[in-house]
Amino acid sequence: MTEPINPVRNQLIEELKKSGFKNEQIIAAEESRACYGYDATRQCADPMLVLLPENGHQVEIALQLAAKKQLKIFPRGAASGMSGGAIPSDDGIVLSLTRMKRILEIDQENMIATVEPGVITGELQEEVSRLGLFYPPDPASLSFSTIGGNVAENAGGPRAVKYGVTANYVMGLEAVLVNGEVIKTGNKCIKSVSGYDLTSLLVGSEGTLAVITKILLKLLPAPEAVKTSLLAFPSMTAAALAINAMFKNQIAPSTIEFLDHHSINAVREGLPFTLPEEADTVLLVEIDGTSASVLAQSQKLKELFKDDALLMIEAQNESEREQLWIARRRLSPAIANIAPHKINEDIAVPRAAIPTVITRLEKLSEKVSLPIVCFGHAGDGNIHVNVMLDKNDPEQALRGHQAIDEIFAITLDLGGTLSGEHGIGNTKSAYFDKEWSPATIATMQAVKQAFDPENRLNPGKIFP
Amino acid sequence: MTEPINPVRNQLIEELKKSGFKNEQIIAAEESRACYGYDATRQCADPMLVLLPENGHQVEIALQLAAKKQLKIFPRGAASGMSGGAIPSDDGIVLSLTRMKRILEIDQENMIATVEPGVITGELQEEVSRLGLFYPPDPASLSFSTIGGNVAENAGGPRAVKYGVTANYVMGLEAVLVNGEVIKTGNKCIKSVSGYDLTSLLVGSEGTLAVITKILLKLLPAPEAVKTSLLAFPSMTAAALAINAMFKNQIAPSTIEFLDHHSINAVREGLPFTLPEEADTVLLVEIDGTSASVLAQSQKLKELFKDDALLMIEAQNESEREQLWIARRRLSPAIANIAPHKINEDIAVPRAAIPTVITRLEKLSEKVSLPIVCFGHAGDGNIHVNVMLDKNDPEQALRGHQAIDEIFAITLDLGGTLSGEHGIGNTKSAYFDKEWSPATIATMQAVKQAFDPENRLNPGKIFP
């Protein structure tokens, strides 16, 4: 079936070409547009038009033309987001920033990288590591996600315990407002208190306030050494006590990942080491820094838990380190064996609330008769909660949704938040007013209106 | 002379009393109001009324009543600010938050303190240090400034090199909007990406967006050890190279203060150690962390600079440490001997630009025939620039103002910012549009309007 002619689209294409857009930067064919309508949530949409700008000036042009015609704009990176933040509407224009992928500068003296939003995060990390520098944020998607997407969603990762999240590394931005005007925020100064912190406001705003076209990122000196250990404990409470003991004893791990007993059972077979039967919770702990401090902290770790841990393995080299990570890496595919589908959320709670949240989720699992598998970032309280079910069974699907409602209720009751690193997008917006008061939401909406009075920039995200 | 009767004030006082304000919380007498009209910039104003709320609810009441009468509100901590951020207008109400000084909770497990804005920063540090915890931001004013003021101005301090500034520790806020409604931002979660980051937007907003009534602060485990060294170099360039060499060699000092040759000459007499004649720049370096890592880094420091430093003293105990700090602490009073007055600014530049900025300021000093003394935070590029002059000499005063214009021009030319830690307030607002583009300022103003459409909350600050 041929698509009906869309005069708005046709006119826009003409104007874009007149303004210097090349044919291959304008995607109008139905079958090609489809490639820009999905994201990692498996939602699909069919945007009216897709543009692939190659520089900030073309982003300005696109936004100016869209403003004239009052069209909606949906910025997009690699679309690896887990909350629907990149899903367009059928009457919207997708602005895919994947062609803006230049590393513009690595300023070694100031330890700051200036990059375009389409740079793949992992590639940036490799590039700076060749210079002895380090960009710490490590979302699981880093080998394919873009730094622009990371900034828009304020991506986290296992290293957040010690190094924080993307927001902690963004020193400045260049962004195009919905009317096509350019703003610059921040600078290369470590201290800067001149006016409002628009940088932090744009980070994590999920593409709803402006289109980011340039990013200044703080870098660190690469750590000299890293040491990875796997520890097994007989209960989540014992593991949580162990984590607190680490912090109290000046051990500052870069990573503390955990696997609950469902997760352990899912990956136990075929591990390159033997987990004791009684192991209920496994912690994967990484310590990095200067060689001296890594050595001292690792020794302290061993002393601290020589009695309490059921098992403690310390990797002696890179290949042993990889072996310890196998359990964590195999998790996502392995839990697929528990049930055909999963609904996964990335709640976060204050770190000390982890044992309580796990206990309450176990009770919930019994109540809804669905397995709930938990793993994730124990060091920072960010838990990946997976409700395992068969979505084709309507009765299970219903219980699954009931479980999600209760998971959020438990999380908020414990002082937690709907999302630790995935963002709200369109998948969690219905729960947004459970977390924030009407006055707080109204304030956020007033900020949105200040930036985007016609609600044309990534509409339908965050707010209920 | 008796003041004329002010019917608006009298009516307001009646309503405040009806709403539970006690007599001693309402300051209407002219001579007492004067105590709330100044700040560290020595500006003076005479606010219409001063209120001393004792809890968040009273702040709400005050703002609701002010809203009804469309009166201006000026929040205020200890008024130790250096940019006029706390200066009221004569028709405004000062809201002094110094009575809201309770430490509400120190959550040791999550390492988070919840405090009211009037808590003295140094007192909070002492309180948490008794529990083995650490609140790093250390503005020079910490023994009398309030944490609320620190948050409103995003205060820095010497430790920012390693530990960052106040913004890096604020996890959440409770704040009252100009209409009297309460918002809560952030939470106790280390990772949280649910909606816009209003916390970071309020930090450093200089009391222009909302009145902060509660603050959640991240704490760290107290460092085991600290080692202080003083190093003298023959030039600023040599000192700057030394700083870069530290970072490249995995030395991560918590503090790198510097004194230029004017500063050195001002304090040279009577120091408990002898500075070589050729010393042009002195660095005061502190390294903290685990005992093992402090030892390793201190040894590396000594090796690195055993040839290049003209002098290197390492403090062996707390009293020797105090002796090394004497040079830095005596600076402010000592430079007063150079000239009767000083105009001091706290510019910041990208760290690597420090030698260039110092060279250009020396040329400027010759051009305007006024001594320009520089010291401050070499590790983070934040320089306290002091133009020394006799303000009573109109010709010198004129050259002083010319110098300030050029200091900001040089700073911005090198990618710097008007203020590293003092804020814009009303003393630097005339320069604000030199740093930011019209579109960026318009965006900040739109945010201001979103929070405070009638411009009643600390008006006259930040914007030109």
Q: In this complex, how many residue pairs, one in chain A and one in chain B, have their CB atoms less than 8 Å apart?
A: 278
Q: Does position B386 have pLDDT exceeding 90, yes or no? A: yes
pLDDT of residue A248: 83
B62-102 tens-digit pLDDT = 999 999 999 999 999 999 999 999 999 999 999 999 999 99
The beta-carbon neighbor of B196 closest among A168, A351, A444 is A444
Q: Find the farthest-apart pair of alpha carbons in chain A and give their distance in angstroms, rounded.
A: 74
Residue B215 CB contacts under 8 Å (≥ 6 apart), including other chains: B114, B115, B116, B117, B147, B148, B151, B170, B172, B173, B174
pLDDT of residue A332: 83
How is residue B348 annotated by DSSP? B
CA dihedral in degrees (B59, B60, B65, B68; nearest 10)?
A: 140
CATH 3.30.43.10 occupies which residues in chain A? Answer: 21-96
Task: Name the pLDDT band for B330 (thresholds 50, 70, 90).
Answer: confident
Which helix (H) or strand (E) segment holds residue B12: the answer is helix B7-18
Chain B residues with CB-CB distance to A227 below 8 A: none
- The three state secondary structure string of chain A is CCCCCCHHHHHHHHHHHHCCCCHHHEECCHHHHHHHCCCCCCCCCCCCEEECCCCHHHHHHHHHHHHHCCCEEEEECCCCCCCCCCCCCCCEEEEECCCCCCEEEEECCCCEEEECCCCEHHHHHHHHHCCCEECCCCCCCCCCCEHHHHHHHCCCCCCHHHHCCHHHHEEEEEEECCCCCEEEEECCCCCCCCCCCHHHHHCCCCCCCCEEEEEEEECEECCCEEEEEEEEECCHHHHHHHHHHHHHCCCCCCEEEEECHHHHHHHCCCCCCCCCCCCCEEEEEEEEECHHHHHHHHHHHHHHHCCCCCEEEECCCHHHHHHHHHHHHCHHHHHCCCCCEEEEECCECCHHHHHHHHHHHHHHHHHHCCCEEEEEECCCCEEEEEEEECCCCHHHHHHHHHHHHHHHHHHHHCCCECCCCCCCCCCCHHHHHHHCCHHHHHHHHHHHHHHCCCCCECCCCCCC
Nearest CA of chain B to the CA of A50: how many Å?
A: 26
The burial of A175, by beta-carbon neighbours within 10 Å (0-12 exposed, 13-18 middle, 19 or more buried), is given as buried
CATH 3.30.70.2190 occupies which residues in chain B? Answer: 225-332
Cα dihedral sign, B217-B220-B226-B231: negative
CATH 3.30.465.10 occupies which residues in chain B? Answer: 106-221
- The whole-chain average pLDDT of chain A stands at 95
Q: Does position A1 have pLDDT exceeding 70, yes or no? A: no
Using alpha carbons, select from A355, A236, A231, A240 the residue that is nearest to residue A301.
A231
Backbone angles phi, psi at B4, to 5 degrees: -65, 155
Chain A residues with CB-CB distance to B209 below 8 A: 196
Taking an 8 Å cut-off on Cβ atoms, the answer to whether A201 and B201 are in contact is yes
- Residues pairing with A311 in the sheet: A232
The beta-carbon neighbor of B190 closest among A160, A293, A450 is A160
Q: Does position B1 have pLDDT exceeding 60, yes or no? A: no
Name the one residue in this structure whose structure tokens are 């999963």. Answer: A342
Q: Check if the beta carbon of residue B321 is closer than 8 Å to that of residue B315.
A: yes
Percent of chain A with pLDDT over 70: 100
A417-433 tens-digit pLDDT = 999 999 999 999 999 99
Chain B residues with CB-CB distance to A380 below 8 A: 189-191
Q: Does position B35 have pLDDT exceeding 90, yes or no? A: yes
A106-221: in CATH 3.30.465.10: yes
Q: Are strands A92-96 and A49-51 parallel, antiparallel or unpaired?
A: parallel
CA dihedral in degrees (A329, A330, A333, A335; nearest 10)?
A: -110
CATH 3.30.70.2740 occupies which residues in chain B? Answer: 338-427
Q: Check if the beta carbon of residue A88 is closer than 8 Å to that of residue A461.
A: no
Nearest CA of chain A to the CA of B381: how many Å?
A: 7
Please state the rounded mean pLDDT for residues A23-35: 95
Nearest CA of chain A to the CA of B379: how many Å?
A: 9
Name the one residue in this structure whose structure tokens are 């609904």. Answer: A343
Task: Retrieve residue B177's tokens.
Answer: 């909007």
Q: Does position A291 have pLDDT exceeding 90, yes or no? A: no
Taking an 8 Å cut-off on Cβ atoms, the answer to whether B351 and A190 are in contact is yes
Q: Check if the beta carbon of residue A83 is closer than 8 Å to that of residue A462.
A: no
Q: Check if the beta carbon of residue A218 is closer than 8 Å to that of residue A189.
A: no
Taking an 8 Å cut-off on Cβ atoms, the answer to whether B449 and A450 are in contact is yes
Q: Any idea what the Cα angle at residue A93 is, between residues A7 and A50, rounded to 5°? A: 90
A46-64 tens-digit pLDDT = 999 999 999 999 999 999 9
Nearest CA in chain A to B252: A221
Taking an 8 Å cut-off on Cβ atoms, the answer to whether A352 and B109 are in contact is yes
Q: Any idea what the Cα angle at residue B109 is, between residues B106 and B112, rounded to 5°? A: 40
Please state the rounded mean pLDDT for residues B218-225: 94
CB-side exposure of B115: number of CA atoms within 13 Å? 31
Q: Which CATH number fits domain A338-427: 3.40.50.300, 3.30.1540.10, 3.10.20.30, 3.30.70.2740?
A: 3.30.70.2740
CATH architecture of the region A225-332: 2-Layer Sandwich (3.30)
Taking an 8 Å cut-off on Cβ atoms, the answer to whether A187 and B416 are in contact is yes
Question: CA–CA separation, B425 vs B345, rounded Å?
Answer: 12
- The three state secondary structure string of A83-148 is CCCCCCCCCEEEEECCCCCCEEEEECCCCEEEECCCCEHHHHHHHHHCCCEECCCCCCCCCCCEHH
The beta-carbon neighbor of B191 closest among A420, A436, A441 is A420
Chain A residues with CB-CB distance to B298 below 8 A: none
Could you give the C-alpha distances from B355 to A191, B258, B267, B378, B412, in angstroms and in order? Answer: 17, 12, 22, 10, 15
Could you give the C-alpha distances from A463 to A431, A460, B71, B425, in angstroms and in order? Answer: 9, 7, 32, 34
Question: CA–CA separation, A154 vs A205, rounded Å?
Answer: 8
CATH architecture of the region A21-96: 2-Layer Sandwich (3.30)
The beta-carbon neighbor of B447 closest among A153, A168, A196 is A196
Nearest CA of chain A to the CA of B271: how many Å?
A: 30
Name the one residue in this structure whose structure tokens are 């250096």. Answer: B82
Nearest CA of chain B to the CA of A204: how many Å?
A: 6
Task: Name the pLDDT band for B291 (thresholds 50, 70, 90).
Answer: confident
Question: CA–CA separation, A155 vs B216, rounded Å?
Answer: 22
Nearest CA of chain B to the CA of A49: how many Å?
A: 28
Q: Does position B3 have pLDDT exceeding 90, yes or no? A: no
Could you give the C-alpha distances from B9 to B27, B115, B168, in angstroms and in order? Answer: 11, 31, 40
pLDDT of residue A269: 87
Please state the rounded mean pLDDT for residues B147-155: 98
Q: Is the ipTM of this complex over 0.95?
A: yes
Backbone angles phi, psi at B125, to 5 degrees: -60, -45
CB-side exposure of B410: number of CA atoms within 13 Å? 24
Taking an 8 Å cut-off on Cβ atoms, the answer to whether A382 and B296 are in contact is no
Which of B82, B196, B429 would you mutate first to test chain A, the one with the most A CBs within 10 A? Answer: B196
Backbone angles phi, psi at B101, to 5 degrees: -125, 35
- The whole-chain average pLDDT of chain B stands at 95
Question: CA–CA separation, B327 vs B418, rounded Å?
Answer: 26
CB-side exposure of B209: number of CA atoms within 13 Å? 32
Question: CA–CA separation, A373 vs A342, rounded Å?
Answer: 10
A73-119 tens-digit pLDDT = 999 999 999 999 999 999 999 999 999 999 999 999 999 999 999 99
> In this structure, how many other beta carbons lie within 10 angstroms of the beta carbon of residue A314?
16
Please state the rounded mean pLDDT for residues B336-358: 94
Residue A169 CB contacts under 8 Å (≥ 6 apart), including other chains: A135, A136, A137, A217, A218, A219
> In this structure, how many other beta carbons lie within 10 angstroms of the beta carbon of residue B325?
18
